[in-house]
Amino acid sequence: MAPPAGQIRPGRYLAIFTLIVAALYSLVFFTGDGNPYPKLGIDLQGGTRVTLTARTLDGQPPSNEALNQARQIIETRVNGMGVSGSEVTRDGNNLVITVPGEGGEEAKQLGQTAELNFRKVTSALPAQTPPAGTTPQAAHQQQPGDQQREIDEAKRTRQSTDPNVQMQALQALNCSVDDPLRGNDDPKLPLVTCDREGEFKYVLEPVFLPGREVATAQAVPPNQQNPGWTVSLDFKSEGAKIWADFTSANVGQQAAFVLDSEVVSAPTIQAALLGGNAQITGQFNQQSATDLADILKYGSLPLAFDQSEAETVSATLGVASLEAGLFAGGIGLLLVAVYCLLYYRLLGILTILSLVLSGGVVYGVLVLLGRWVGFTLDLAGVAGFIIAIGITADSFIVFFERLKDEIREGRTFRSSVPRAWTRARRTILSADAVSFLAAAVLYVLAVGQVKGFAFTLGMSTVLDLVVVFLVTHPLVALASKSKFLSKPSVSGLGAVQRVGNQNRAARKAATTAKEA
């Protein structure tokens, strides 16, 4: 038989919470790398900063629209690769990527233009390094002053429609130096270029299938068909039709997968491929295949970028700020504890216990979020947790004050608990819903570290409900059923119970007088 409204079986609720905590910390200690600490943001552990300098095809300064679009795409790539706690900001014509920890090389990969196109192979040669000074690339290496002139010269020779010029450019091409056409080739013209490993040189026809027709991409581990890692592509409907028509008409020919003007893979078409998908093969390992798939998945950049060397960011100031923040949070928590003990006594002890348990749950969730989705804790997030202490304490106070109101009406401690919970529950849910909604709106609209503040505040609000429903209410219910704990001198409700007794006596006297 179910208990009356407002009454619960406290042991069942506490058992559920115990199981939740046990499962949570089992995941913390026995999954992943077993590291029982949250990941820290760049302001707490230091990190790496990479500056990307934009360059355009015509040598003019990039537009604000193009820079903002590039910044948004890179932010999407950051999130997709799990590089959390990062910032992507504009600095003039530069984009500055800041990532926590040792993520410099991964951050540099985020700046790839990732313009994937498909071209038919006209001819190919093994790569041989020509004498210095005989190619546009050598000139680029020796005289890097006029970048636009080098791009124009490379286009004139390596994207010529004259077969004789193409063959001369093919013979002269040096695959061992930087390519001025990286990300700058014209898809409507032929292209003379190298593969990514610098082992082969190719003459390619104009693009027959643009990379924007790729719907999604994913890294595929080695299998019986492919001994190494590959990148699997799925095309959109129009792209699938183009791919099927091309492979049907070019069996035995090579199709080059060209990423940022370099050939990633040039497989021979063995048969017509009608399924709307393709595979990029090459000398991939798991990381490089995953990086390429993620870059292709989240779109190509509207600009090409020159990458600087990664520089280390110190966390000295952040550590000092963290210590100051934790000290302030500790003082605040101590004041809350002292106030609760003086004002509520037994209920104050239950408040402190609930806060400790809430902190334990939050800590475990932080560790798992850092392990599973790359969440990093920064100073703003710490501030969110400190503010959440007040929100959690407010929920307890709402319940306790409702409880005192019931006792003032002349009810006993035990009979007041279910009635007080029924009345307080709606208020607690409403207050936490407003707090969570505010945190969610702030998270959506904010940028940078403010998102960390909003996330931790919203997460703490949700976990507050878990603790109030599964711990605080059951513990108060248990205390009300204990003869010792329900004593006025222990519970801290003595003064309220005296007022309740007076009110009950007054009502009884009024009823007696009325009956007389």
| Whether residue 448 has pLDDT greater than 80 | no
- The predicted pLDDT at position 139 comes to 37
Q: Which residue do the tokens 């934009």 mark?
A: 54
Question: What is the reported pLDDT for 272?
Answer: 85
Buried residues in 246-280 as b, exposed as e (16+ CB within 10 A): bbeebeeebbbbbbbbbbbbbeebeeebeebebeb
Q: What is the rounded distance in angstroms from the CA atom of residue 510 to the CA atom of residue 514? A: 6
Would you place residue 15 in the very low, low, confident or very high pLDDT band (cuts 50, 70, 90)?
very high
In angstroms, rounded to a whole number, what is the distance separating the alpha carbons of residues 211 and 221? 23
Residue 265's beta-bridge partner residues?
Answer: 257
Q: Find the mean pLDDT for residues 421-429.
A: 93
Greater pLDDT, 32 or 117: 117
| Helix or strand run (H / E) with residue 313 | strand 311-313
Strands (E), 150-267: 191-194, 200-210, 214-220, 229-235, 255-259, 262-265
Q: Please determine, looking at this structure, whether the domain spanning 114-299 carries the CATH number 3.40.1410.10.
A: no
At residue 89, does pLDDT exceed 50? yes
Q: Which fold has domain 10-36+315-510?
A: Multidrug efflux transporter AcrB transmembrane fold (1.20.1640)
- Among 115, 181, 172, smallest CA distance to 148 is for 181
Q: Closest by alpha carbon to 464, among 371, 367, 375, 354?
A: 354
Asked whether residue 142 carries a pLDDT value surpassing 50, the answer given is no
Q: pTM of the prediction?
A: 0.59
Cβ-contact 71, 63 below 8 angstroms: no
Indicate the range of 71-75, 257-261, 304-308, 383-387 predicted with least confidence.
304-308
Binning pLDDT at 50, 70 and 90, where does residue 298 land? low
Q: What is the average per-residue pLDDT within 313-335?
A: 75
Which residues are registered as beta bridge partners of 90? Answer: 95
Q: Where are the domains of the chain?
A: 10-36+315-510, 42-108, 114-299
Cα–Cα dist 235/34, whole Å:
39
Mean pLDDT of the chain: 83
Question: What is the structure's pLDDT at 112?
Answer: 67
Tell which CATH architecture fits domain 42-108: 2-Layer Sandwich (3.30)
Mean pLDDT value of segment 349-371: 90
Residue 3 has pLDDT above 60, yes or no: no
Return the bridge partners of 234, or none: 216, 277
pLDDT confidence band for 32 (50 / 70 / 90): confident
Distance CA(151)–CA(153), nearest Å, equals 5
For 294, other C-beta atoms within 10 Å of its C-beta total 22
3-state secondary structure 316-353: HHHHHHHHHHHHHHHHHHHHHHHHHHHHHCHHHHHHHH
16-24: Cβ within 8 A, 24+ apart: 16/470, 17/357, 17/466, 17/467, 17/470, 17/471, 20/361, 20/466, 20/470, 21/357, 21/360, 21/361, 21/364, 24/361, 24/364, 24/365, 24/368
φ, ψ (nearest 5 deg) of residue 489: -70, -20
Q: What is the pLDDT of residue 137?
A: 41
Are the CB atoms for 474 and 18 separated by under 8 Å? Answer: no
CB 466 within 8 A of CB 428: no
pLDDT for res 255: 92
pLDDT reported for residue 109: 66
How much of the chain exceeds pLDDT 70, in percent?
86
Residue 132 has pLDDT above 60, yes or no: no
- Choose the most confident range, by mean pLDDT, from 47-56, 329-338, 382-391, 413-422: 413-422
pLDDT exceeds 80 at position 457: yes
CA 70 to each of CA 110, 139, 275, 398: distance values in angstroms, whole numbers, following the listed order: 10, 30, 32, 49
Report the run of H or E that residue 78 belongs to, with start and end: helix 64-80
31-36 contact pairs (CB < 8 A, 24+): 31/371, 32/371, 33/371, 35/367, 35/371, 36/367
